[in-house]
Structure 1
Amino acid sequence: MSSCIRCIGMDSTMAACRELVDLILSGDVSTQDELNKAKKMVSAAYHLSKLPRNSDILSAAGDDRDAVLDLLQKRPIRTISGVAVIAVMTSPYRCPHGRCVPCPGGVDSIFNSPQSYTGAEPAALRAIQENYDPYRQVTARLSQLKQIGHKLDKAELIIMGGTITARPLDYQQWFVKRCLDAMNDFGREPLHTKYLEDAQRANETAAVRNVAMTFETRPDWCKERHIDRMLDMGVTKVELGVQSTYDFILKRIERGHTVADSVEANRALRDSAIKVGFHMMPGLPGSNMERDLRMFEALFNDSRFCPDYLKIYPTLVTKGTRLYDMWERGEYVPYSSEEAARLLADIKERLPAWVRLQRIQRDIPAKHIVAGVLKSNVRQMAYDIMQAEGKRCRCIRCREVGHKMLKGLRADPDAVRLGVEKYEACGGVEHFIFFEEFNIDALIGFIRLRFPCRPHRPELEDAALIRELHVYGRMVPIGEKGKDWQHRGYGAELLERAASIAREAGYGKLAVMSGVGARPYYERLGFGRDGPYMSRRLRP
């Protein structure tokens, strides 16, 4: 292979990368297989000791970066849902109630890690490397995502590491502020804001905008007073460690909360316009396959539950836990990978179209798992079972247009229709308003509109609540019109339909749960600041 003229004078790696850029631009390389073959040929021609990384090729692309980005972008799954996900972890801290029977983590554990984590999970490893400093964690993650080609305009911040609402309030506020500071400072001179409110205000126009923020916590540490504090910090979603809907199982694992705590936290969050996710653990002591399947059926048939998001963590046995002692004595046997896959296939078949199954399995490395689900591809195993039986899952994640695109499917804008699904939840009424492309069953975007039951916030008097607005597809930078599905006006249309439904029901106000960085978007659509919300009147 002859060197290109522009490569003369460059070092070997840079020259090889530039030649790969030219091959992509010429159309000679257009698939991942062709790229891998070209890397090998170019590396041999330039006598490189290792193949160029995609990030190296992007660095060499210069002004041609945008033209080669689609092919070189690693792990497009990271932003295919429309936002860049930044997961950070708080420092190790004792859980307020003690330690659950299956819990592997905590300051008193053999791992000396954040509660419920081993310290070997990817997010935990990044946190340890940065000494649990929130600013450094966010900066490092943004740098990683940028290096592998992801756009960072819209970021979802997920704060993990145990029961953060049980930490001192000043720690919570400091942690959130420093995360926002890192976004505000990324790629520019530091702003040195003094207060959380200053960091929030700066983020409204920052290059990296925090459009969503998630806290993980326990149901018994998610009362109205905790919710008020979270709203002040900019939280838009809360993931509750529900684990089971059977009180006798919660008692057996010494969870320290009840089903009633989960029900009340769920209602209070929804009535505060916050999105709700449940963490569930099938296979806990005292359960079995039949009982667990009934539990997941109840999650969506019992209006006390109906989570917006779901993470399913089959119970694992790790050393240093009381569950390990039970397993060693022969008192407990976890699900195998095959049993878990069978159960998950049965669960996925039953999921409604308005829930998003975010995750299956913990990130715990196999070397730390003594017994339980040892195979890392249990989601794929469940999918294969469903395929063989002619079944499918219609949860949000499986139907997102971005995920359909990754599979090579193409949506037709002329086949997009608007739909509404109404259901009762926690004493109120939910409206799942959506755009979908019906030819390939692709979800383009949706709104969660709630007629609340018992809101405690004064801003929400006479208000219908928009708890979530999301348009899917690969992220399109703020202010740009892309070839993907964001910024095509679907969001504004969904808002108008929600306003119409709320107005017809007699509500005088529409209140939106908005991430700090999304506030300017709602301002352009006639909404104004209203405490932690963005709202507008529905009648004079």
Structure 2
Amino acid sequence: MKKDDFNRACREVLGMVLAGRIKDEEQLNRAKKDVSKRYHLASLPRNGDIIVQGTPEEQAATKEFLRRKPVRTISGVAVIAVMTSPAPCPHGVCLPCPGGPNSVFKSPQSYMGKEPAAMRAIRHGFDPYMQVHSRLTQLKEIGHDVEKVELIVMGGTFSARSLDYQEWFTKRCLEAMNDFTGTEWREKAASIGTAVPYIPLEEVQKANETAAIRNVGITFETRPDWTREEHVDEFLRLGGTKVEIGVQSVYDFVLTRMQRGHGVAEIVEANRVLRDSAFKVGFHMMPHLPGMDTERDLKGFKKLFEDPRFMPDYLKIYPTLVTEGTPLYRLWEAGEYEALADEEAVELIADIKAVLPKWVRLQRIQRDIPAQQIFAGVRKSNIRQLAEERLKEKGGKCRCIRCREVGHNILKGKQVHEKDIELTMETYEACGGKEHFIAFEDLTADVLIGFTRLRFPASPHRSELENAALIRELHVYGSMVPVGKGAKGADWQHRGYGKELLEHAEEIAYDAGYRKLSIISGIGAREYYRKFGYALEGGYMSKNLKI
């Protein structure tokens, strides 16, 4: 197959799309087969191959039609998951935990090496730079805008790694974003040394504030007992905005039985320190751990949103699985543990979804572990869809953020009208402080456009947060609109909702007696807040309130 022939074939298909002769996926596939036959191509062109043949104007005109997997950026950001190199967990191994450097898989702790992110990491030798670069390239090739990146650092207890490794790993991820469209920024950055110039983390972050590919948030995964004040300070220094902690259960007897190495007290303290430092907090939960049944599990999930010591912003539900080489596998093999069946899991998750408040986002249900690696437990990969259908059959409805956000609803064909959008607020207690979930919603269609999380903290340990109200999150949903571009069509970003949410939060904080507002901001979002009078103070964008 000659490259010129391949390019000509792709260009021909692009021309047909631009001319309006291709209007749906069936016609597109037919055209691909036709040009492949005429040009004697060895394989069909991918959508990404077709897109890159166009001028910037042509790419912009056809990208939405040719974009594959629109869900990848439908929440307003391009999510890039990277994985650290294999390292043991500091406390040992929990009963159900697979993987780890000493396992047969030689994979990061709690992963088995066959998950998509793990396979990408292994392919690149766990090099953070190459993981980010390859994922950006992949998303770009299938038609996605990648100007706003949310980075998720996976692979075990990140805060237990050496401080040098933590900084190196995070810095290299940011450098990959900065370099993606050119390396000119390196010439302007202050560096150390001449033979092999070293650019400090702070300079890499500064460059990313105005880069073409901006980091709008970093999520770190860790354990509650490795989320003390000093760990949170380091997360902040690295540019972190969200922390996901492995809670697994809200019962001490379950945590002891699964050999977790910490109790509920550590969970509660980690949650408080994170919130009072303005971080978003995600909980990983594991139904059907040894000693639990579906009735107790449901009570535990209800407790998450009734007990103010918990109240997570984000939630991942990972039903307990029996996998090779784990202590739980040996218990199961001996007949001392019975795994959760698919049907039971569907019923339980449907009941959990029914009690979720409107301010939590259920991010994920079920691990990415391939079914053939699961000896017992939930094998169905579409467990979320099945639970949603079961809840609907029971006359219920999930009101979590993900189920209501505008992008996902538009993909499902729901109509949203700007005239029906209202500003709403829900207030609740959490970890000794007060949370305000301020949102723009279409109440008729039950669709969420955007929101902000305003917190009146309990007792922040950071000096720059003294007497300050905190914004822990500001997010407008819908397909990503690149920085500096205006909204069009069904886009909801860049329509002024973020500005209005921010102004409303400022008014509420001022009326409550606060004269300062501090925002935990993604590195690449700092320029946005500067437009409204905020300035960098420590790890936060802060402003003195004068309304």
Q: Is the 8 A contact 1:181 1:193 kept in 2?
A: no
Question: Could you say what secondary structure the match of 1:114 adopts?
Answer: strand
Map residues 50-449 of structure 1 onto 2, 5 A cutoff: 50-62=43-55, 63-189=57-183, 191=186, 194-449=199-454
Q: Tell me: CA distance 1:526–1:349, structure 2 relative to 1, closer, same or farther (3 Å).
A: same
**How far did 1:28 drift?**
2.7
Deviations 1:149-170 (A, max 9, x none): 1111110111000001011111
Deviation at 1:508, TM superposition (A): 1.2
Contact 1:418 1:433 in 2 (8 A): yes
Partner of 1:19: 12
Equivalence for 1:501: 508
Q: Distance in 2 between matches of 1:14 and 1:337?
A: 47
Contact kept in structure 2, 1:82 and 1:471, CA below 8 Å: yes
Offset of residue 261 of structure 1: 0.5
Distance 2:413 2:273 in 1: 41
| Distance in 2 of aligned mates of 1:164 and 1:57 | 39
Matched, 1:515 2:522: yes
- Whole-angstrom distance in 2 between the partners of 1:185 and 1:410: 39
Deviation of 1:363 after TM superposition, in Å, equals: 0.7
Letter in 2 for 1:66: A
1:4 is aligned to: none
Gap change, CA 1:443 and 1:193, over 3 Å in 2: farther
Residues in 2 aligned to 1:529 and 1:14: alpha-carbon distance in whole angstroms: 47
Q: 1:232: Cα distance to partner?
A: 0.8
Deviation track 1:491-533 (CA, whole Å, cap 9, x = no partner) reads: 0100010000001100110110101111010001110111100
Q: Distance in 2 between matches of 1:172 and 1:19?
A: 47
Q: Alignment partner of 1:469: what SS?
A: strand
Partner of 2:100: helix, strand, or coil? Answer: coil
For 1:30 and 1:411, the matched residues in 2 are separated by: 24
1:525 corresponds to 2:537: no
Q: How far off is 1:440 after superposition?
A: 2.0
Question: In 2, distance between residues paired with 1:198 and 1:18?
Answer: 41
**Secondary structure, counterpart of 1:357 in structure 2:** strand
Structure 2 Cα separation of the partners of residues 164 and 157 of structure 1: 14
Aligned-partner SS, 1:61: coil
Q: 2:493 aligns with which of 464, 486, 489?
A: 486
Number of residues of Structure 1 aligned to a counterpart in Structure 2: 532
The alpha carbon displacement at 1:45 in A equals 4.3
Relative to structure 2, which stretch is displaced further, 377-386 or 263-272? 377-386
Give distance in 2, aligned partners of 1:479 and 1:76.
21
Deviation at 1:450, TM superposition (A): 0.3
Q: 1:193 to 1:435 in 2, by over 3 A?
A: farther
Contact 1:316–1:369 (8 Å) recurs in 2:
yes
Whole-Å Cα distance in 1 between the matches of residues 440 and 454 of structure 2? 14
Residues of 1 paired with 2:70 and 2:52: CA distance?
18
Deviation at 1:111, TM superposition (A): 1.0
CA distance in structure 1 between the aligned counterparts of 2:543 and 2:222, rounded to whole angstroms = 31
SS in 1 for 2:502: helix
Residues 431-467 of structure 1: CA deviation (Å, up to 9, x unaligned): 0000012232111100000000111111111110000
SS in 2 for 1:29: coil
* Among 18, 28, 32, the residue aligned to 2:21: 28
TM-score after normalising by structure 2: 0.95
Name the amino acid aligned to 1:39. Answer: K
Equivalent position to 2:461, from 456, 459, 469: 456
Native 8 Å contact 1:43 1:51 kept in 2: yes
1:98-146 deviation per Cα after TM superposition (whole angstroms, max 9, x unaligned): 0111100111111111111111111111111111111111111111111
* Mean CA deviation greater in 25-34 or 508-517: 25-34
Measured in 2, the distance between the counterparts of 1:177 and 1:116 equals 24
Query: How far does residue 193 in structure 1 lie from its aligned partner after superposition?
Result: 5.4
Q: Residue 534 of structure 1 corresponds to which residue in structure 2?
A: 541
Shift of 1:413: 1.2
Work out the CA distance in 2 between the residues paired with 1:43 and 1:173: 48
CA distance in 1, matches of 2:181, 2:127: 19
Q: Which moved more, 1:368-377 or 1:36-45?
A: 36-45
Between the aligned partners of 1:10 and 1:159, the Cα distance in structure 2 is: 37
Which segment is superposed worse, 308-317 or 431-440? 431-440
Preserved CA contact (<8 Å) 1:435 1:444? yes
- Measured in 1, the distance between the counterparts of 2:23 and 2:397 equals 31
**Deviation larger for 331-340 or 54-63:** 54-63
Compared with structure 1, are the counterparts of its residues 323 and 395 closer, same or farther at alpha carbon in structure 2 (3 Å cutoff)? same
> How far, CA to CA, are the matches of 2:521 and 2:269 in structure 1?
23
RMSD, aligned CA: 1.4
CA distance in 2, matches of 1:143, 1:49: 23
Q: Which structure 2 segments of 5+ residues have no match? A: 187-196
Determine if contact 1:193/1:199 at 8 Å carries over to the other structure: no
Letter in 2 for 1:102: P
Cα displacement (A) at 1:181: 0.8
Alpha-carbon distance in structure 1 between the residues aligned to 2:416 and 2:255: 44
Deviates more, 1:286-295 or 1:184-193: 184-193
In the TM superposition, residue 383 of structure 1 has moved relative to its aligned partner by 1.4
Tell which deviates more after alignment, 14-23 or 97-106: 14-23
Q: What is the aligned partner in structure 2 of residue 6 from structure 1?
A: none
Q: Say whether the 8 Å CA contact 1:528–1:535 is kept in structure 2.
A: yes
| Cα deviation, residue 479, structure 1 | 0.7
Equivalent AA in structure 1 for residue 481 of structure 2: V
C-alpha distance in 2, partners of 1:450/1:293?
28
Supply the distance in 1 between the matched residues of 2:52 and 2:444 (Cα, whole angstroms): 39
- Matched letter for residue 338 of structure 1: E
**What letter corresponds to residue 535 of structure 1 in structure 2?**
S
Residues 217-271 of structure 1 show CA distances to partners (whole Å, capped at 9, x for unaligned) of 0000000111111111111000000000111111011000101110110011000
Per mean C-alpha deviation after superposition, the further-off stretch among 433-442 and 80-89 is: 433-442
Shift of 1:10: 8.5
CA shift, 1:148, in A, is: 1.1
Query: 2:147 is matched by which residue type in structure 1?
Result: D
For the residue of structure 2 that corresponds to 1:436, the secondary structure is: strand
Q: Flag the 1:10–1:458 CA change in 2: closer, same or farther, 3 A.
A: closer
Take 2:323 and 2:333, find their aligned partners in 1: how far apart are those partners? Answer: 11
